[in-house]
Amino acid sequence: MSWFNARIAARLTVIATLAALTAGCFQPMYAERKDGTPALREKLMGVELAPVNLPTASREARLGVEIRNALAFKLYGNATGLPPTHRLELRLTSNRSSLLLDPATALPSIESYNLNANYRLIEIATGKTVMSGNTFSRVSYDTPGSYQRFARARAFRDAEDRAAQEIAENLNSRLMSFFYAGI
């Protein structure tokens, strides 16, 4: 039995040594850099959020404003942005589909709301697209009985709001990884 304990102790020693060697490689994402390059927060504050080009007074226009406001809060906090170095452009598409129908009324009882966002990050100095891609959110929601029209409309709006917040969080994460990696 003692050789078994010695093997475990040797393995733990190797793991502790490797952990100690790699501990110096860790650098917090929001830390100030000593080499003079701007910190991640300053880079994110240089992103200009272009208004989403959607028809006025449409449901998607409301979502575009909500995504833009949520993303601005995530990027700038309670401050305003710095002079812009990059511009983020968004295109949104959405749809909803019925997942489950009530057999008695043939009305949907569970629906899915799908929000897709295509984005481009453009460097203002050169006009070159430095990052592009798409992100999506799929949110399901319950629709109460056929006599509760207000509850059905409110459930749909809450699903839209949750999808918009998820899109803003996805975009924020992608911008942070882009600026942190320095690609």
The series of mean pLDDT values per 10 residues for the chain, 183 residues long, is 74 80 64 67 87 82 91 82 88 84 72 93 94 93 76 89 95 91 67
Dump the DSSP string for 25-89. Answer: G---TTPPPTTSPPPHHHHHHTEEEPPP---TTSHHHHHHHHHHHHHHHHHHTTSPP-S-SEEEE
Classify residue 24: in a domain, yes or no.
Answer: no
Q: What is the pLDDT of residue 87?
A: 94
- Give CA separation, 86 vs 126, 153, 169, 179, in Å: 10, 37, 18, 11
| Cα–Cα distance, 56 to 7 (Å, whole number) | 70
| Cα–Cα distance, 52 to 179 (Å, whole number) | 22
Phi, psi of 5 (to 5 degrees): -65, -35
Phi, psi of 19 (to 5 degrees): -65, -40
Classify residue 17: in a domain, yes or no.
Answer: no
Classify residue 26: in a domain, yes or no.
Answer: no
Q: Provide the β-strand partners of residue 140.
A: 112
Which of 72, 97, 57, 100 shows the shortest CA–CA distance to 164? 72
Classify residue 134: in a domain, yes or no.
Answer: yes
Q: What is the pLDDT of residue 32?
A: 67
Classify residue 128: in a domain, yes or no.
Answer: yes
Q: What is the pLDDT of residue 24?
A: 65
The two three-digit tokens of residue 84, written as one number: 């812009």
Give the residue numbers spanning the domain of 167.
Answer: 39-181
Q: What is the pLDDT of residue 25?
A: 64
Classify residue 75: in a domain, yes or no.
Answer: yes
Classify residue 12: in a domain, yes or no.
Answer: no
- DSSP secondary structure code for residue 146 in this structure: T
Taking the complete model, does pTM exceed 0.95, yes or no?
no
Classify residue 13: in a domain, yes or no.
Answer: no
The number of beta carbons lying within 10 Å of the beta carbon of residue 56 is 5
- DSSP secondary structure code for residue 180 in this structure: H
- Per DSSP bridges, beta strands 108-123 and 86-101 are antiparallel
| Cα–Cα distance, 106 to 174 (Å, whole number) | 41
CATH number at residue 130: 3.30.160.150
- Looking at the 3D structure of the chain, how many domains does it have? 1
Q: What is the pLDDT of residue 146?
A: 62
